């Protein structure tokens, strides 16, 4: 999940400069364009917890690589056995569009994920397929609601309302850490404008001057279910072959 960023605005009125708050769109664009590493490889643990406190833990190898105007990501499930060798691939394009595929080893078949499936939940987690991608700023109308210091972080608060009225969320509200341009907290509202989920940043780290969100937690408020995603053994800017991000590799898996 890249959650947010900002830019200072200067208005020229009558030859005098007036420093203004950035707009919601400018902040969101800064988040979207936050520098990322050329490549990243990491171990990803995904911990699912239900309302009774029962947990299921999934272990994943994750690979990411920038290809000019497209970012490609591959996730290979290692454990437990019932999901082992399941593979998910995501291509995020500069214009905000995405292509996604999932390989299910039991069926020995790769399934292309259509836009109609964006609201489906990913592998039993609290993240939808759409949540796993990078939402382009142009897909929403952004309004700066104000500022707040939360847990010692000075944040902008931005409300984003989707342009597409059929989108799964009626709106989101994001608390964005100033000067780092990462989302510290994000609230998702359902079609009735009731709070559905809350995404919280637990930890971030810097690698080669690039900020990486290493632990996030998604809480489904309505079902009292949560998912923690945690990255470890993070390596950035190491060589990753281009053919890692292909359907052939999805079927082949890691050997």
User: In terms of residue numbers, what domain contains 130?
Assistant: 9-252
Determine the pLDDT at residue 56: 96
Asked if residue 4 belongs to a domain, the reply is no
Q: How far is CA 184 from the centre of its chain?
A: 12
Predicted confidence band of residue 254 (pLDDT cuts 50, 70, 90): low
Q: Could you give the C-alpha distances from 32 to 3, 78, 79, 245, in angstroms and in order?
A: 8, 30, 32, 22
pLDDT value at 55 more than 80? yes
For residue 3, tell me if it sits in a domain: no
With beta carbons less than 8 A apart as the criterion, state whether 182 and 4 touch: yes
Per-residue pLDDT, averaged over 83-90, amounts to 94
Instruction: Answer for the pair 38, 217: CB distance below 8 angstroms, yes or no.
Output: no
Summarised one tens digit per residue, pLDDT across range 91-104 is 999 888 889 999 99
Q: Is residue 164 part of a domain?
A: yes
Count of domains for the chain: 1
pLDDT tens for 204-226 read 999 999 999 999 999 999 999 99
- CATH number for the domain spanning 189: value is 2.50.20.10
In a domain, 2, yes or no: no
Provide CB contacts within 8 A for 241, sequence distance 6+.
none
Nearest C-alpha neighbor of 71 from the set 41, 43, 101, 38? 38
Examine residue 187 and state whether it is found in any structural domain, yes or no.
yes
For residue 5, the model assigns a pLDDT of 37
Yes or no: say if 31 and 4 are a contact pair by the CB < 8 Å rule: yes
- Specify the pLDDT at position 255: 58
For 115-153, how does the pLDDT look when each residue is reduced to its tens digit (9 = 90+)? Answer: 777 789 999 999 999 998 888 999 999 999 999 999 999
Is 152 among the domain residues? Answer: yes
pLDDT tens-digit profile of 1-22?
444 333 333 233 333 333 478 9
């Amino acid at each position: 999940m890249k959650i947010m960023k900002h830019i200072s605005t200067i208005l020229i009125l009558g030859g005098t400069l007036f420093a203004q708050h950035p707009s919601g769109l400018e902040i969101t664009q800064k988040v979207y364009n936050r520098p990322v590493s050329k490549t990243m490889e990491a171990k990803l643990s995904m911990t699912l917890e239900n309302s009774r406190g029962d947990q299921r833990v999934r272990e994943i190898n994750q690979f990411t690589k920038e290809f000019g105007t497209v970012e490609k990501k591959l996730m290979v499930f290692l454990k437990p056995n019932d999901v082992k060798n399941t593979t998910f691939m995501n291509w995020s394009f500069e214009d905000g569009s995405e292509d996604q595929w999932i390989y299910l080893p039991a069926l020995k078949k790769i399934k292309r994920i259509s836009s109609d499936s964006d609201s489906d939940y990913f592998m039993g987690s609290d993240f939808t397929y759409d949540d796993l991608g990078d939402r382009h700023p142009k897909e929403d109308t952004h309004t700066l609601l104000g500022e707040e210091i939360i847990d010692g972080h000075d944040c902008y608060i931005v409300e984003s309302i989707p342009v597409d009225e059929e989108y799964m969320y009626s709106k989101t509200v994001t608390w964005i850490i100033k000067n780092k341009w990462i989302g510290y907290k994000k609230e998702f509202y359902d079609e009735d404008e009731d709070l559905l989920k809350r995404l919280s940043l637990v930890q971030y780290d810097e690698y080669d001057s690039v900020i990486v969100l290493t632990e996030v937690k998604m809480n489904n408020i309505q079902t009292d279910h949560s998912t923690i995603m945690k990255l470890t053994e993070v390596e950035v800017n190491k060589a990753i072959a281009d053919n890692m991000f292909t359907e052939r590799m999805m079927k082949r898996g890691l050997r």
